[in-house]
């Protein structure tokens, strides 16, 4: 699992993500996030890495 910043342009991605959620209901926004997680998980593909990512996300302070 990569833990160092690996974005080519983190700010641009964040803006794109915010724009994608604009004007969506809470339910639509949650569905967009779910679809995005599944698409990105498919790009990663490695079950061990995905498990590490899930565990790291759960441990991340709120």
Residue 62, pLDDT above cutoff 80: no
Give per-residue pLDDT as tens, 14-42.
999 999 999 999 999 999 999 999 999 99
Dist CA 58 CA 62 (whole Å):
9
Give residue for tokens 């809470």. Answer: 26
What separation in angstroms does the CA of 56 have from each of 35, 38, 59?
20, 17, 5
Q: Where are the domains of the chain?
A: 25-62
pTM across the whole model: 0.81
Coil, strand or helix at 61: coil
């Amino acid at each position: 699992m990569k833990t160092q910043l690996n974005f080519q342009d983190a700010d641009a991605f964040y803006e794109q993500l915010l724009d994608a959620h604009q004007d969506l209901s809470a339910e639509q926004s949650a569905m967009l996030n779910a679809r995005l997680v599944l698409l990105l998980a498919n790009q990663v593909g490695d079950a061990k890495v995905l498990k590490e990512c899930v565990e790291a996300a759960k441990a991340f302070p709120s």
